[in-house]
Amino acid sequence: MNTAARADYRRYLRLDMMPHILCPGCGHGIVLQAMLRAIWRLGLPQDQVAVVGGIGCSSRMVGYVDFCTLHTTHGRALPFATGLKLARPELTVLAIVGDGDGLAIGGNHLIHAARRNIDVTCLLLNNAIYGMTGGQVAPTTPTEMVSATTPGGALEPSFDSCKLLEAAGASFVARGLSSAPIDLEALIVQGIQHQGFSFLEVLSDCPTYYGRYNRLGEGPEMLQAQRRHVDWVAAPLADKAFVPGFADTAAVADVALQYGVLHRETRPELSEQVHRLIAASVGEGPT
């Protein structure tokens, strides 16, 4: 564990891949830095870290970090990560997915990774919209909010991904904020340390589309709004418009939006079980 106040995260960047593609004011870069600081804090050997992404603005970030990096197909980061972890359990495997990536096209893989309790730390960056394709509605867009494909406001309710993942069996569930990067770093540290499937929903901001379509201001305004309306333990969700991912029902106004570690349990981890089975079976029976 590195304890120095100032984290040396730059060593993990592929500077020769810069400039990056993220827009000014995008919250994703803050999340990436928090992840790198968490890796530095834990002192993980760089060669033994694999970062897997799907498709979207958030997933593109895996290219900028100097680990074993795998930028896969839309929605499918977790099955790639599962194969990687089972094949080489000593690797620390992280997955960075987006909200459309993880909850729409990849929703099935997400719940099955949680059910298996494979030791992968999954950061789902939720900005309530499809950013890379130009601002279409996502399964996390709150009702009534505007997107390129819901010009009159979204009709459908949205997912609460943390509740979904807890129900699916994730043994570590947390919610972090791009506007609270120090806390986020601590959450990611805990997620990586946890043996089993660790799910972190990180509320991020997309000023380019979500902010613009819904007149929420630029990056700084969107981040400030996150801070105003959410707090470490629990706070009333006063203004849903600034907090992506929450349904617009009358009840929600009174429901506390929680952030921090929401669920933690100890149960058998898959790669360990698989390799224990293998150790007991090697040489057994005709081959």
Partner 1 sequence: MTATLLQGNQACVRGAIDAGCRFFAGYPITPSSEIMEGMATMLPRVGGVFIQMEDEMASLAAVMGASLAGRKGMTATSGPGFSLMQEHIGYGAFAEIPCVIVDVMRGGPSTGLPTSPSQGDVMQARWGTHGDHPIIVLAPASVAEVYELTVRAFNLSERYRTPVILLYDEVIGHVRERAELPSLESLGVVERPQPNCPTEAYRPYGDGAQRVAPLADFGSGYRYHVTGLAHDERGYPTQDPRVIARLHERLHAKLQDGRAEIVSYEGEELDDAEVVIVAYGVSARAARRAVSEARRQGLRAGLFRPRTLWPFPDAEVNVLARSARALVVAEMNMGQIVYEVERCARGQAPVFGCLRADGQPLTPDEILARLVEVRAGEAEVSR
> What is the contact surface with partner 1 in residues (CB under 8 A)?
14, 16-17, 46-48, 50, 52, 62-63, 66-73, 76, 78-88, 90-91, 108-109, 112, 274-275, 277-278, 280-285, 287
Instruction: Give the residue carrying structure tokens 């009333």.
Output: 236
Instruction: Give the Å distances, CA to CA, from 144 to 20, 158, 214, 241.
Output: 32, 11, 10, 9
Give the three-state DSSP class for 248: coil
Instruction: Indicate which of partner 1, ligand SF4, none lies near residue 228 (CB less than 5 to 8 Å, by partner kind).
Output: none
DSSP conformation class of 25: T
Helices and strands: H and E segment counts in the chain: 10, 11
Instruction: Indicate which of partner 1, ligand SF4, none lies near residue 57 (CB less than 5 to 8 Å, by partner kind).
Output: ligand SF4
Residue 59 CB partners (closer than 8 Å, separation 6+): 53, 71, 72, 77, 96, 97, 98, 101
Q: Which amino acid is at 198?
A: S
Instruction: Indicate which of partner 1, ligand SF4, none lies near residue 28 (CB less than 5 to 8 Å, by partner kind).
Output: ligand SF4
Instruction: Indicate which of partner 1, ligand SF4, none lies near residue 63 (CB less than 5 to 8 Å, by partner kind).
Output: partner 1
Instruction: Indicate which of partner 1, ligand SF4, none lies near residue 277 (CB less than 5 to 8 Å, by partner kind).
Output: partner 1
Q: Which amino acid is at 219?
A: G
Interaction site with ligand SF4 (CB under 6 A): 22-23, 26, 28, 57, 127, 131-132, 206-209
Residue number, 52 or 222, with CB nearest to partner 1: 52
CB of 284 to ligand SF4, least distance (A): 51
CB of 112 to ligand SF4, least distance (A): 26
DSSP conformation class of 17: G
Residue number, 132 or 188, with CB nearest to ligand SF4: 132
CA 245/CA 160 separation, integer angstroms? 6
CB of 10 to partner 1, least distance (A): 16
